[in-house]
Amino acid sequence: MAGNIKEIGEKDFKASVLDSPKPVLVDFWAVWCGPCRMVAPVIDELSQEYKEKMDFAKVNVDEAPKIASSYSIMSIPTMIVFKDGKPYEQVIGYRPKKDIQKILDRVLGR
C-alpha cells in the first residue's frame, strides 16, 4: 500500500475522515474483490498527485462492517469523497483515472 493512503478502521475513521480539515477519498474494498485490485493502482497514483490537497484512505469492508453499513455500501469498490465530515461524491465500481480525477477536481472546486 502506498505511503499516502491510510488503512483505517472503526477506531480511527472519525479522526481520519470525518474530522479531517482536508477532503478525504475513502476507498471501500475487500481482499477478495477483483475490481478493487484493479482500482488500487489508480487510487495510488491519485494519492501521489493530490497529496497536498486531500487525503486518501482505505476501509476493508470485512474488517469494518459498521462503517460500510453506515454508508450503505452494497457493492465494492465504492469510493466516497468526504468533505467537511460529510459524504460529498460517491463512485461505485471500477472507473478510469480520468473519471475519478474529474470528481476530485469538482470536490476541490477546480
* Angle 28-31-33 from CA coordinates, rounded to 5°: 75
> Which residues make Cβ contacts (< 8 Å) with residue 66, sequence separation at least 6?
10
Annotated active-site residue 67? The verdict is no
Average pLDDT rounded to a whole number, residues 20-49: 96
* Domains annotated on the chain, with CATH: 5-102 (3.40.30.10)
Say whether 14 is catalytic.
no
* Residues in contact with 12: Cβ distance below 8 Å, sequence separation at least 6, in sequence order: none
37-93 tens-digit pLDDT: 999 999 999 999 999 999 999 999 999 999 999 999 999 999 999 999 999 999 999
**pTM for the whole structure:** 0.94
Among 5, 8, 17, 36, the active-site one is: 36
pLDDT of residue 1: 47
Residue 3 has pLDDT above 90, yes or no: no
Q: Which one is catalytic: 33, 54, 67, 81?
A: 33
The pLDDT-based confidence of 4 (bands split at 50, 70, 90) is: confident
